[in-house]
Amino acid sequence: MMHPIPKIHPAREIDIIGYETIMLDSGIPCFGFNGVPYDIINIDFCFDSGRWTETKPLTASFYSKMFKTGTEKANAEQLSENIDFWGGTIKINQGYNSITISVYSILRNLEPVLQILQEIFLESKFEQDKLDFKKEKSINRLNINNRKTEFLADEAFKKMIFGENHPYGYTTKKEDIENINRNDVVDYFKNNICSNNLKVYVSGKYDNAVIKMIDKYFPLSVFSNPVDTAFKYQSQPAANKKFHLTIPQAEQASLIIGKELEVPRDATFYDFSVLNTILGGYFGSRLMKNIREDKGYTYGIHSEIMNYKHSSVWCISTEVGLEYIELCKEEIYKEILRLKNEKIDNQELDRVRNYLMGKMLRYFDGPFNTKNVYKTFWNTNREIEHLTYLINSIKTVTSKRLLELANSFFNEESFYEVLVD
Amino acid sequence: MIEFSKAIFKNGLTLIHHQDNKTPYVLVNILYKVGAKHESPEKTGFAHLFEHLMFGGTKHFADFDIPLQEAGASNNAFTNNDVTNYYEWLPAHNAELAFCMEADRMINLKINKKSLDVQKSVVIEEFKEHYINKPYGDVWHIIREMVYEKHPYRWPTIGMSLEHIKQAQLEDVKAFYENFYTPDNAILVVAGNIDWDTCYSYTEKWFGSIEKHTNYTPSIPKEPIQEQQKRKVVYRDVPQKMLYIVFKMPGKGSPVFAVADLLSDILSMGESSLLHKEFIEERKIAYDLEVYLSSSVDIGLFVVEVKLKDEVIPEEAEKLLFESIQKAKALITPRVLDKVKNKSLTSLYFSENELMSRGVGLAFSELMGNAGDVNKEEEKIMSVTKEQIVDFIDSYLTVEKSNVLHYLKNI
């Protein structure tokens, strides 16, 4: 005989863990997240830039590719040799609105790693032959990506939503890669890697000595050019809301359906994120349960909200068997219609509330996760107080409210649809 | 240092517990000692397909995911050639639910035709998504079949072909469950915000009454020692040619594993690595180059993968590669060795900071013979010598023992 099934306890309150504001001599804002058992440290230098502040397509990407290709003192190989010798990692990550340079190190070797990073900032040469190789490699990469239905669908979708002239919408083109020259990279570096658009995040195990090192190696005078990060692009959505591309070698189709979310990031936005979870935001979602677990048309189907600094986009995406494309679309629209016509019952809504609260515990599980939460919120123009909106929506949004939202957002005429097969 | 306690129950179930009160979570991770290598060559992809069926509901839980979601948990699983591993990641106050549910699906899994048919279809789409509808998707099917003659590592976890998945029958599924999903074939690791007494009593309460049942482990054919080079050329509709040179090497439990791991870093990690310098910087004949290990329990693979430039003749690049591997023996200075050791240590510390990698690390170390070995990683890395690396090259990375694949563009 089985024991009684354990009672499920409701979600507990989330402790929103704060950060330490660190005063750097340089005046650069610095945020600290302390407390791991190992002597490890991560420092992120986060520049408010990315694609948004480019004056020519792909320059942010090529600055990133050229980042560690050599300084006055050391070529690419020596740089890499020096960083690796100390067991460190220096990574650069280019986003739509940011360039993030991340340092990972064990505490005792941090200083030499920071010294190398300083050298990269101050003395990079951006040599022509390195650039030529990076361009050649990118074209090669593009040729491979252009055989992937998933890549083509994603590019086409963003282009339809934002337009070809928008930093979130432009596609990677061979001509644009060919047109990049050395000056573009140097200019991008000079105008974007500046102290007045920089936030520093220190996480892991750190002490005063670490903070002193940051001050020592990143004085204000190093980067001081102003950068214009103001809002300047408007979306230019495509007139034709359907896009269909056929590639000869496809054995499966990539399908994306979605739209730009034109709502302020207030309570409405977070209420919608609960609705999105119910539709396709977790393994137990309606799309997964129906289209994967009941019909077997796909390995995975998801709906998500992609947050950019100046916009949010909602979309459903899936890789679907060629023979199931129409059936799959039919079921997607059925599920959307259900959300518009029927109130979500309490059992399902409670489940999603608990699932989301459980997932949110992860946000503040250790300093690295906590740091990422703050970084994500700030990078998308939101204050951490928004987290209380989110928690509030998760706990209190009603099925009546979700029905209203479904009716105001899920207007099929406003959807963009991309199919690559 | 990862501290842990261990117990073996009467029914053969192994329990390993690791406490960490800094996290609000408990990780319940159950590893079954069954993977693609236990499949019959006529029915490959079965262990992985079965993993999908483990989410189809049990006697006491019509839906396996719903109660976990209600408890705020995330859950998933993975299958590889050696094992199938399931885990739940729950807020600590709901931890007991995962014990109860994992125990129920060890003994009371519901298997029906509908769920089998749907999951066959899902796995077929997964197969297409990762192994067909992508350039170079079939490369591991080709390499495994070429390299292994006898060992069931001949096929990838997803299965040898779509046909094998389509042919899976309900009786096979039931027999597989009966045979492999037994307490004595499982390692349960519980990590996070839970103490030993609670953990032990939950395990006893939920798993204690499950009886040990017959567990037949198919004998795995021994892979013969390769004496002669094997070569293969394939043409596909891809934009760029690739060169693979693959050598067999001992599995994860072997003392030479750490040696091979550091050698792979010396050859290809970062721009100062030996092969990167020669092929990309100096000779400019490749876009990219990677050396890595397959990390399997039995006889594994040491892989060199090169993305060649268009104008390069693969035979010439291949010849250079063999020469460079030999030349490497003279280039392993103390500084080079220190560099890769330092780098490995940093990634070890960052990885051990994560509860999930501590939990899975304990499970795998126990699978290999002793959970405590999880704490020997640092020592293993630090004790590797230049002589061992040279010896590894001489013993394993020779032309005769190599398997060469030219993956070329259609003409």
Please spell the DSSP secondary structure of B309-378, one letter per residue: -TT--HHHHHHHHHHHHHHHHHH--HHHHHHHHHHHHHHHHHHHTSHHHHHHHHHHHHHTT-GGGGGGHH
Q: Provide the residue type at B94 as one letter.
A: N
Which A-chain residues 214-273 have CB contacts (< 8 A) with chain B?
Answer: 249-252
- Residue pair A138/A94 in contact by the 8 Å Cβ criterion: no
What number is the average pLDDT over the span B64-85? Answer: 95
Residue B182 has pLDDT above 80, yes or no: yes
The pLDDT, as a whole number, for residue A223 is 64
| CA separation for the pair A225, A311 (Å, rounded) | 27
Across A200-217, b (16+ Cβ under 10 Å) vs e yields bbbbbbbeeebbebbbeb
Considering only the beta carbons, identify the residue of A2, A80, A133 that sits closest to B272: A80
pLDDT-based confidence at A379, cuts 50/70/90?
A: confident
Contacts of B239 in chain A (CB under 8 A): 140, 143-144, 146-147
Q: Across the interface, do A283 and B69 touch by the CB < 8 Å criterion?
A: yes
Share the mean pLDDT of chain A: 92
Contacts of A77 in chain B (CB under 8 A): 271-272, 277, 281
Higher-confidence position of A134 and A195:
A134
Residue A183 has pLDDT above 60, yes or no: yes
| CA separation for the pair B129, B123 (Å, rounded) | 10
Residue A18 has pLDDT above 90, yes or no: no
- By three-state DSSP, how is residue B241 classified? coil
The pLDDT, as a whole number, for residue B339 is 95
Contacts of A78 in chain B (CB under 8 A): 272
Sheet (strand A252-260) strand order: A242-245, A416-420, A252-260, A312-321, A298-307
Q: Provide the residue type at A253 as one letter.
A: A
The pLDDT, as a whole number, for residue A222 is 59
| Interface confidence (ipTM) of the complex | 0.90
Cα A409 from chain centroid (whole Å)? 23
pLDDT-based confidence at A190, cuts 50/70/90?
A: confident
Q: What is the DSSP letter of B292?
A: E
Higher-confidence position of B239 and A128:
A128
How many angstroms away from the CA of A249 is the closest CA of chain B?
A: 8
The set of residues, in sequence order, having a beta carbon less than 8 Å from that of A1 and lying 6+ positions away, is: none
- Residue pair A205/A36 in contact by the 8 Å Cβ criterion: yes
Residue A70: other Cβ atoms inside 10 A:
20
To 10 degrees, what angle do helices B334-352 and B355-367 make?
A: 110
Residue A219 has pLDDT above 80, yes or no: no
**What are the structure tokens assigned to A323, written together?**
């023979």
Contacts of A362 in chain B (CB under 8 A): 25
* % of residues, chain B, pLDDT over 90: 92
* % of residues, chain B, pLDDT over 70: 100
Q: What is the pTM of this model?
A: 0.93
The pLDDT, as a whole number, for residue B216 is 81
